Amino acid sequence: MPVHQVVLIAGDGIGPEVAAATRRVLEKADAPIQWEEHRAGLSALEKGMTVLPESTLDAIIQRGVALKGPCTTPVGGGFTSVNVGLRKRLNLYAAVRPVRSMPGVPTRFEGVDLVIIRENTEGLYSGVENELTQGVVMSMKVATEAACSRIAHWAFRYATQRKRRKITVFHKANIMKITDGLFLRCARREHQRDYPNIEYEELIIDAGCMKMVQNPGQFDMLLLENLYGDVVSDLCAGLVGGLGVVPGANIGDQQAVFEAVHGSAPDIAGKGVANPLALIMSAVMMLNHLADTRDDNACRAAAGKIKAAYDQALADGCKTRDLGGEMGTESFADAVIDRLKG
C-alpha cells in the first residue's frame, strides 16, 4: 500500500492544537500518510527563519500536497501575509470552500450546500500599495485575462465533475468596470464556449450577499475574485455554524495546500477549546484529492470513514464551544475517533 509524504504546517495560535487533533484522527483512521513537519508564520520567525522559509516551499514543491494550520498576519503593519505569499509563490490559484449544513448543528437555515471558488492570486491581494502624497494612499487591484479565464475554467470544470448545477458570479462591475468587467467577460466566455449545460448567473455582490442571507438555497456554486471570495467565505460560514465547520483547499496545477477557512483565533489560542473540525474536514478533502490524483483507494476509504465519524459525532451531540457544546479540541477528536468504523 503506498504511503503519501505530506507536508504538515501546524501554524500559529490555535494551529498546533487543531493540527495535533487532526493528525491523531487520520492516524486512527489508517490514512496512508507520513507527515513531514515544516514551519511557516510566527513559529518560523521564532526559530530565526523567515516567515515563509524556502525549505517549507521546497518541501511542498517536492511532496505536492500540504495540510496547513492558520498563520497569523499582523494588522496594519509588519510582515506580509504568509498565506497570500504561499498561494502566490506556488500559484495555488483556486481556493475551494465547501459550505454545508452539518448534522446536529442547528442554524437559521437547513440544507445549505454551497461550494465557493475564489481566485487566489490577484485582485486587491496583489499587495501593491503606495502613499502617493501625505494623506493620500492607494491600493492597486490587478486582474489579468489569463488568471480570470483560468479560474473560470477551473470552476466550470469542477462543476461538471461534481455534478453541480449552477455557478453564480458575485461582482462589482458596475463600479469597477475594467477589473471586475474582465472577470465577468472571462466567466461568460468559458461558460458559453465550453460549459453551456451549467446554469450561469451574475449578481452585483451587495445584492448577492443580501440574497445569500435571505435564502442560501438558491445558490449552488459561487465564483469570486480574491477579496470578495475571502469575505463571502466567512459570511457563508456563518450560515452553517461558523468558522469551525468550513474546510478549504488551495489548488494549483502542481501543488495543493489544504487549510481551514478560519484564522489563528488568538482569542482562544492555547486554551484547548478550538474546534478542530474545519481542519479535519480539510484533511478529508486532502485525502480525496490524493485518491483522485494518485488513484489510491486507501485514501478514499479513510476519507469516507472520517467523514462518517464526524457526522455521527455531531449528530450524537458532541460539540465544541463555538457550536454550543462543551467539548474541548482533544475530547472532540476523541469522539470522532470513537466513531471510526471498519
The set of catalytic residues is: 125, 172, 206, 230
Q: Which CB sits closer to ligand NAI, 152 or 256?
A: 256
Q: Which residue has the cell 492558520?
A: 70
Does position 118 interact with ligand NAI (CB under 6 A)? The reply is no
> Which listed range, 55-63, 139-147, 185-193, 260-268, lies at the site for ligand NAI (CB under 6 A)?
260-268
Distance CA 33, CA 271 (A): 28
Distance CA 273, CA 119 (A): 32
What single-letter DSSP state applies at residue 81?
Answer: P
| Cα torsion angle, 239, 243, 244, 249, sign | positive
Does position 328 interact with ligand NAI (CB under 6 A)? The reply is no
Does position 226 interact with ligand NAI (CB under 6 A)? The reply is no
Partnered with residue 199 across adjacent β-strands are 166
Does position 90 interact with ligand NAI (CB under 6 A)? The reply is no
Is residue 242 within 8 A of residue 322, CB to CB? The reply is yes
Does position 19 interact with ligand NAI (CB under 6 A)? The reply is no
Does position 244 interact with ligand NAI (CB under 6 A)? The reply is yes
C-alpha cell at 70: 492558520
> Which listed range, 160-168, 180-188, 193-201, 265-273, lies at the site for ligand NAI (CB under 6 A)?
265-273
Does position 249 interact with ligand NAI (CB under 6 A)? The reply is no
Q: 284-318: string of b/e by CB count within 10 Å (b at 16+)? A: bbbbbbbbeeeebebbebbbbbbbebbebbbeeeb
C-alpha cell at 216: 442560501
3-state percent breakdown (helix, strand, coil) of the chain, nearest 5: 45, 20, 35
Minimum CB distance to ligand NAI, residue 31 (Å): 21
Does position 264 interact with ligand NAI (CB under 6 A)? The reply is yes
Minimum CB distance to ligand NAI, residue 332 (Å): 10
Q: Which of 231, 243, 290, 326 is nearest to 64 (CA)?
A: 290
> Which listed range, 26-34, 114-122, 144-152, 255-263, lies at the site for ligand NAI (CB under 6 A)?
255-263
Minimum CB distance to ligand NAI, residue 320 (Å): 6
Could you tell me the CA-to-CA distances from 206 to 64, 113, 146, 203 in Å, in that order? 37, 21, 26, 8
What single-letter DSSP state applies at residue 80?
Answer: P
Binding mask 60-79 for ligand NAI (x = CB under 6 A): ----------xxxx------
Binding mask 269-288 for ligand NAI (x = CB under 6 A): -----xx--x----------
Q: Which CB sits closer to ligand NAI, 35 or 79?
A: 79
Minimum CB distance to ligand NAI, residue 14 (Å): 6
Does position 241 interact with ligand NAI (CB under 6 A)? The reply is no
Q: Which residues bind ligand NAI (CB under 6 A)?
A: 14, 18, 70-73, 83, 243-244, 259, 262-268, 274-275, 278, 322
